[in-house]
Homo-oligomer: A and B are copies of this chain.
Amino acid sequence: MANKPLVSIVSAGLSKFGRNEGMMCREIFAEATKESFDRCPNLDPIKDIEALFVGHMGESYEHQGHTGPTLADWTGLLPKPAIRIESACASSGSALRIGILAILSGLHKVVMVGGVEKMTHRTTAEVTEFLAMASDMPFEQWNGITFPGLYALMATAHMHKYGTTEEQMAQVAVKNHYNGTLNPKAHMQKEITLEKAMTSKVVAWPLKLYDCSLITDGASCLILAHPDIAKKFTDAPVHIIGSGQASDTIGLYERETLTSLKAAKLAGQEAYKMASVEPKDLDVAEVHDCFTIAEIIAYEDLGFCASGKGGNLIQEGTTELGGKLPVNPSGGLKSKGHPVGATGTAQAYEIYLQLTGQAEKRQVNGAEIGLSHNVGGSGATANVHIYRRD
């Protein structure tokens, strides 16, 4: 099992997730990149990094597009090519995918990929409106539905078809909030009880406040190198051995089913095949829990369990820290936070820490193979990456 590397992660960085008052995206991104540079003293960023691909979802938050060169400037990477990648909440997962293409192309030996979003200076109504741009304008936004509503439709369909319960969804929140208490960079480091989650305010039934991820500021980055030169920069690279990406209709109303994300299933299949890895080989995973139902559906789409059995998987404790396959040890989007453009490479950052034994209180002992799963919108984009320690 486990194929040869596509690329190697030689360093990674993450800003503190939360409310970064008075900082702009460029400054938050610089915080993440500084960690990646500090971690990797053998790398000379200006000399070695040849290109930047950066996920950024919304130019509306800061009235600032053209994010690539802006971030390259604040990170000291000018005049290298620097390009913004947008796939809604999967923007930096897509940036990672493109970084892999860049290394495989032979045109680049070392590139930086990452993502950033600054959201908390906007009102919840503004954020809801900006996020809605990732759904279909004429048929979804126009009719007033927003993301909690779209995921509520998936949740009720899943409850109806498979008997999934509100308690099972709340258990995802309880697990991820507990994990967040072990992550000093998480936005919300606060345990919650099942009762607290179950009695929280309804946002879009059956989804309640604690079923929803957070509005967060944050940035993340990875430094990718050709596997042949990775050891020049670090003794402990993490290798990416599988990458899958697929698309689906932007509108939920056009989908074949509401209880599964076809794009995520296809992306997973592509990544597993490329990596020669099966779900049973995984030691740790970070999945896109923008809403608790999304984590349950992810278990099924990624083959952690059979279709319809995601509720049981959380109930049985399989995906807790200490369980057979810990999922979202970082706290996930639910508790670590969801600065949308930064999420994909923030998931990869967590897997990097886990596979190099640097995850401290939330370390999954002996983790060798990991997976990240990043979803855009209600599932029109999904990408999956599989990682192996050196």
Query: Given the complex, which residues of B lie within 8 Å of A248, measured CB to CB?
Result: 69, 78-79
Q: Does A292 contact B (CB under 8 A)?
A: no
Q: B residues within 8 A CB of A97? A: 81, 83
Q: Which residues of B contact A94 (CB under 8 A)?
A: 68, 81, 83
Establish whether residues A63 and B141, one from each chain, have CB atoms under 8 Å apart when the complex forms.
yes
Whether A133 and B247, one on each chain, are in contact in the complex, defined by CB atoms closer than 8 angstroms, is no
Contact B87 A86 (CB under 8 A): no
Given contacts A62-B137, A138-B24, contact A85 B83 (CB under 8 A): yes
- How many copies of the chain does the oligomer comprise? 2
Instruction: Indicate with 1 or 0, residue by residue over A116-135, a CB within 8 angstroms of chain B CB atoms.
Output: 00000000000000001111
How large, as a class, is the contact surface on chain A? 35 or more
> Which partner residue on chain B sits nearest A77 by CB separation?
B247
Q: Which one of B102, B137, B376, B383 contacts A64 once the chains associate, using CB atoms below 8 Å?
A: B137
Stretch at the interface among A53-61, A184-192, A211-219, A328-336: A53-61
A35 close to B (CB within 8 Å)? no
Q: A69-B249, A101-B107 are in contact. List 16 more A-B contacts (CB 8 A).
A: A24-B138, A56-B86, A59-B60, A64-B136, A65-B88, A66-B87, A66-B250, A66-B381, A69-B376, A72-B247, A77-B247, A79-B263, A80-B246, A85-B86, A98-B98, A104-B104
